Amino acid sequence: MTPDSLTITPTNDSERYIQDRDLNLTAAVRCKSYGLFSSLLASSHEIDVGKQLREVAGMDNFCVYGIDLGALCGTYLSVDKLARKNEYSRLFEIGDSGPPVAIREQQQFGQISGIREDLVRFYEFFDYKIHQHYAWAPDHISVILEFTHLLCYYESVVSEDQLSYQLAQYDFVSRHLVDWAPIFADLIDNVQPDSLYADIARSLCLFITRDHEWQASTIFPMERSGDNG
């Protein structure tokens, strides 16, 4: 085999197309939903998301995939700020053997550096630049959700090649959220089942699972010429 013969041939998997998405109806809702989950799981110590959540909490019946996000935002806002901060710290910041629940993907999966590189490559490809203050934690679940939110936003506003953002959403969620979200929810359930963050994580898990299924159902492999499949 000569070096020339090693040119990469796209596989079936690399050629995909989208159908059955009504962008006007789905992109903005999904964008808002990912954004809300990002806000709900942002560090209560670092970021005040009250304003964003109040707007949604005030909306009538904001349900997505049967998940009442408006009510979830209302619950978040009803919890005392200091109590919320303490709960966040106890779950995600310190414990006898590190934080009881990993809120950073790398922590959850054993400090595998490939996870972070994969994230940063996605961020870089789509020009998502994290503020210096948070740069050390590109794998924080809130950052990951925020990036997905951004991809959905792009999908809703760009005039051409929406496919890039649609496929990226699916791949990104597949690689970083689908496996992790159930673990994240289970761990919080084990540690503090009656907590605000347990509610958020259970809802997130449901949302990610259903949205991933929905995305998958709109993505099809391209048939190659000569493929009689």
Partner 1 sequence: MKRTQKMASPPQMPASKGRRTFLRQLLASSTLLTLNHAPIAASAPQPSGEKAYRNFEDIYRKKWTWDRVVRGTHGTNCAGNCAFNVYVKDGIVWREEQQGVYGSSGDAPDYGPRGCQKGLRHSKYMYGSQRVLYPMKSIGERGNGKWERISWHQATTEIADKFLDLVVAHGPECISYGSGTQMALKRASFCSLARFANITGVTVPEFLSGVGDLPSGIQMTLGQIHTSDTMAAVYKSRCVLVWMSNPAVTRIPDAHFFWDAKYNGTEVIAISPEFTPTAMHSSLWVNPKPGTDTALAMAMVNVILEERLFKANYIREQSDLPLLVRMDNKRFLRAEDFATQSDATADGGGFYIWDEATDSVARAPGSGTGNDQAATLKLGKLRPALEGRWRVQGLDGVIEVTTAFELLKVRAAEHAPELMSELTGVNANVIRKIARTFAAAEPAMIFSGYAACKWLHGDILQRSMLLLLSLTGNIGPEGGGLQIGNSAKTQTMAFAFDGIGVAFRGISGTTWDYDHAKMKQLNQETYGKKLAQEFDDYYQESIRKGWYPSHSSKGWKMGFFAGNNGANWRASGKRWRKSALEELELIVSLVPDAGVTSHYSDYVLPIAHHYERADMMLQSRTPYVQVLDVAVPPLGEAVDDWEANRLLAEAIGRRAKERGIGIIDDVIDGRRVQRDYRRCLELYTMNGKIKSAKDVCQYIIDTTPGIPKIPFAELAEKGVVRVNGSERTTWDDKETTYHSEVFESVRDKVPYQTVSGRQSFYIDHEWFLEFDEALPAHKKPLHNEGYPLRMMMGHARHGIHSMWRDDSFLLSLQRGEPDIYINPDDAAERDVKDGDTVRIFNDAGEFFAMAHLSAGIQPSMLFMYHGWDPMMFRNRQNFGAVISTAGLIKPTSMAGGYGQIGYKPARFSPNQTYKDFTCDFEKASEEVTAGEPA
**Considering only 73-81, 168-176, 182-190, 196-204, which stretch makes contact with partner 1 by CB under 8 A?**
168-176
Residue 133 CB, nearest approach to partner 1 (Å): 8
Packing angle, helices 23-40 and 141-157, rounded to 10: 160
Residue 23 CB, nearest approach to partner 1 (Å): 11
Output 40 or 185, the one with its CB closest to partner 1. Answer: 40
Binding-site size, partner 1 (CB under 8 A): 105
Buried b (16+ CB within 10 A) or exposed e, 160-199: eebeebbbbbbebbeebbbebbbebbebbbebbeebbbbb
Closest to 173 measured CA to CA, from 131, 200, 202, 204: 204
The stretches of the chain forming alpha helices (DSSP H) are: 23-40, 50-57, 69-78, 81-92, 105-108, 113-125, 141-157, 162-176, 180-191, 196-217
Among 106, 148, 195, 203, binds partner 1 (CB under 8 A): 106
Output 104 or 202, the one with its CB closest to partner 1. Answer: 104
Output 167 or 183, the one with its CB closest to partner 1. Answer: 167
What binding mask, one character per residue, do residues 116-155 give for partner 1 by CB under 8 A, x or -?
A: xxx-xxxxxxxxxxxxx-xxx-x-x-xx--x--xx--xx-
Q: Is position 23 an interface residue for partner 1 (rule: CB under 8 A)?
A: no
Contact 121, 3 (CB under 8 A): no
Q: Is position 38 an interface residue for partner 1 (rule: CB under 8 A)?
A: yes
Site for partner 1 in 80-99 (CB under 8 A): 85-86, 88-90, 93-99
Distance CA 207, CA 199 (A): 12
- Phi first, then psi: give them for residue 176, nearest 5 degrees: -130, -15
Output 156 or 185, the one with its CB closest to partner 1. Answer: 156
Tokens 């109040």 belong to residue: 54
The pair of structure tokens assigned to 152 is 């959905």
Among 37, 62, 180, 197, binds partner 1 (CB under 8 A): 62
What binding mask, one character per residue, do residues 63-82 give for partner 1 by CB under 8 A, x or -?
A: xxxx----------------
